[in-house]
Amino acid sequence: MRHLYLLPLLATVVILTACGKENLGSGRELVGSWVDVNHTADTLVFFKKGGIVVLLDNSLTYRTIRQNSDNFDPLTNQYEVRMGGGELFTRPLNMRESGLENFFRGKFEWVDGKQSFAVEPNGFRPFLSCTGCPQRFRKID
């Protein structure tokens, strides 16, 4: 009975721990195909696979690499997706390490009532290293 005063403190710690960044959204609202409004040859396809949402970057860049490389890992352009706090988090499917620190991240914003979105490409194309230059995609299916 003497230690009952610790119960509210313990409850607060449990709640704060449960609300950490590991509890990001799955990105399921992105499932479908999206086209880059400025480069219509570039599409992003989001689909469910094994309980997660996967992003397939079907851009001209990756299609060109795939054609010109015998050793190209087909999972290089597929990413596990998470969303939260105005950011898109992605991690290559061929990455074995776990933990949020292994995700790429880029600013994300819904536009036109979730019919299109703007995202900084470094969230899923880290080789571009482009901050402050969002790409806009609109839903096509």
**Neighbouring residues of 112: CB distance < 8 A, sequence distance ≥ 6:** 138
> Given a cut of 80, is residue 26 above it in pLDDT?
yes
Q: Identity (one letter) of the amino acid at 99? A: G
Reply yes or no on domain 24-139 having CATH 2.60.120.
Answer: no
Mean pLDDT score, 92-103: 76
For the chain, the domains span 24-139
The pLDDT value recorded for residue 69 is 60
Q: Write the CB contacts of 113 (distance below 8 Å, at least 6 apart in sequence).
A: none
Average pLDDT, the chain: 76
The percent of residues above 70 in pLDDT, for the chain, comes to 66
What pLDDT was estimated at residue 8?
45
Q: Where are the alpha helices (DSSP H) in 20-121?
A: 60-67
pTM: 0.73
Q: Which amino acid is at 36?
A: D
Evaluate if residue 115 carries a pLDDT over 90: yes
Compute the distance between CA of residue 97 and CA of residue 84 in angstroms, rounded to an integer: 20
3-state DSSP assignment of residue 59: coil
